Structure 1
Amino acid sequence: MAFGCQEEGVLLDLPDAMSSASVPLPPFLPSLDPRVQADVAAIARIGAVQSVLRVLLQLTGMRLAVVARVTDESWTCCAVLDETNFGLRPGDTLELATTFCNVVRCSESPLLVNRASEDPRFASHPAPKLYGIESYIAVPLSRRDGTPFGVMCALDPLPAAMQEDRLVVFRHLADLVGYQLEQEEQLDARAAQLLGAQETAQLREQLIGIVSHDLRSPLTAITLSAATMMRRTELDGRAREGLTRILQAAGRANRLIRDLLDFTQARIGKGLPVRRQAMDVHELAQQVVDELQLSVPERLLRLSCSGDGTGSWDPDRVAQVLTNLITNAVQYGPPGEPIRVDVQGRPDAVHLSVHNGGPPIAGHVLASLFQPFTRGEQPGGERRSIGLGLFIVDQILRAHGGSVEVQSTAGAGTAFHVHLPRTA
């Protein structure tokens, strides 16, 4: 029988239990290859492997069964069931050329040996000489897709009288192990991808928090300096206009930073803090609309209030909801149409709505509109927003026990409806 690999004898000491030699064996060397170590770990996680090895021993009457990772360069034990005190452990290596498994690897075929020392094919092989192995049966072990992995074998220092039909059972059991191995590797790959995504998201959120905190101080200094200069009476119209634009830009930047900080806090599971106090939503809405009207004098903001607007909410957070919704309407509504803000006091809640005209929101955008980093598709919208405003609105209302919904059609435009209960 010819094999496709050249085998060379290697000088090794042997364990007394498996060899006729009395020279003590040095400890088996563990594999240092991280890829092989990962394969050993994958086999160790397959609970059925030990049961398969037990079946092999019962089937053959042998006393040592092994699943080995066999490559062109190395032999590594992945799993072992040992009743001979051979001393082999998962992760240990043998010199590849001294093993019968190398024959199986080279021939890519099963192998059955009943009496190696008298078999003309293997009488001079290193395995019976160095390890005292007389009987051996093995099949190649492959992943389900056919990729070679190694060898599954049973062996013994005593001769045997096995028939070829034993190899049929070996093949079936090897297929089982190969299938389980592929499943385990797929699970590992998915877990690694999930971990990578989680680490990326965590790093992004930490970075957002750090950058946002660091940006607050210089923006505060800019705002205070511009506001101080605005109070000077000797400023001409051009200088005052420039300072106004600085204050408006600083205000937008501060709102962006606030949204980033809120996003970070919401994503790490802490939720947004709410400090309730007695307030009137009608008065707050008028203040927000007046301030925003100054920043966008070219747009018309219309506010209508009715019913009882008093209750216990966080005024800063409610103002943030209104600001984000109105700013969103200004960004995506047609320049020539007014933005309508309506506040209605109802018996158990206050209802707020912000409406703008224009084309409807696309269906695929509408489905994830309140998710972070979701932006509209109108021209220029992507340059004015990072897509956190509506996510923050939703989080604030959840913290108040409320909710927000959106309706967007070609005929009626887009309207955001806020339900703000008087009691959480």
Structure 2
Amino acid sequence: MHWIALRWPPEAAAAKEVPLPSPEALGWWALQFTPRVAWIDGEALLLEVSACERLWGGRLALMREIARLNPVPDVPVQRAQGATSLVALARLRMFARGEQPPQELPSGLPLETLSAAREHLAVLSHLGCRSWGDVEKLPRGGLVRRFGKALRAALDVAYGLAPDSHDWLQLPDVFEQKLELPALAEGAPQLMWSANRLLAALQIWLRARQRGVLALELQWTLDLKRLDGVALPPHQQVTVRTAEPTQDMAHLRRLLSERLALTALAAPASWLRLRSIETAPWAGASTSFLPEDNRKGDKLHELVERLSARLGPQQVLRAVARADHRPECRQAWQPALHKLPAEAGPPEAADAIYPPWLLREPLLLDMDGERPCYQGPLRKLIGPQRVETGWWGEGQPAVRDYYIAQSPGAGLVWIYRERPSSCFTSDTPRWYLQGLYA
């Protein structure tokens, strides 16, 4: 067996003011290299790679790949190897202290690098034991009676006399993490600072699951139960939704910031929780060599999501096609973040001439003799398209001839003329503006 021990120095992260992902999230990140990942002593992440290192091109190539894919680029990951997990951990501890490992392993390792021996260091030192080998030479029975079974069992694992088993990390089906805030948060900036750590963990989980998030919830626990005699809820939360699955934490961070800026904290917050509400399979991002396909700036759906978070969902609308034979009923407006109805499929071939923008109420046009006018006299280009519909329902049926016309000031427009019929009291045709083309 072959083990790799990893450690992200917390002092380096603190010096650079970089929040480290949770230990659980770092374990999820390591699952891309091997399914056998475990935390030991809450200090180091252990990877057993003997069965998979060949797939990475050998041990050296694997170590380079671990460094290249470091989830915290600003904090270099410390790495060490060993034939057992305890040897790898001991070498990592020596590396962190700037010491060179001994030539003889594991016997030459300093005794303080063995976790099971730390509580007995003073007594073992009086017995003249300075290394793992010194303790291993002591009589087994006397060692167990004097120091307990844990020390002897650890030495057996270190020397390969007992199996090196651990509780392997498992990737959860749903992301949910909670953390205690370093200080009571009284506003959105303090909440957002701590939420960055949870977002980093979310990104690791999404990549490991090969999914993109569509909706997530950020919840905080209020530190007070009553304020000015008024009972407070135990929690507050905001929900963020996206139109498309995403793994872009910068975009989610902007959305959360917008939502938090519009939310007033009922009381200082002490805990923060982030969970995924809805996710979808992640197809990845396609790339292109064409310059027009690599334009800089936000994507359209990201801009819509950010404006919806800032102004409110009901203030950012989009046109949605509806299954209806009447032209004035073929389009509805709904919040841009809402999904299309399941029954609304692609338009029929006959609908190709319909404009993308329909007026809610047709506009009666002025006449210049027999020519309708809208920002100037209109010139008919295509038509007529005859429509007779609505006769099966309540109200007056639609009996119309539709045209695509050219306006001097508005460009292409969609107009119609009421055809004379017994439904109308006047035989004089009236012209209406129904829609506009982009």
TM-score, normalising length: structure 2: 0.21
Larger helix fraction of residues? 1
Q: Which has the larger radius of gyration?
A: 1
TM-score, normalising length: structure 1: 0.22
Larger strand fraction of residues? 2
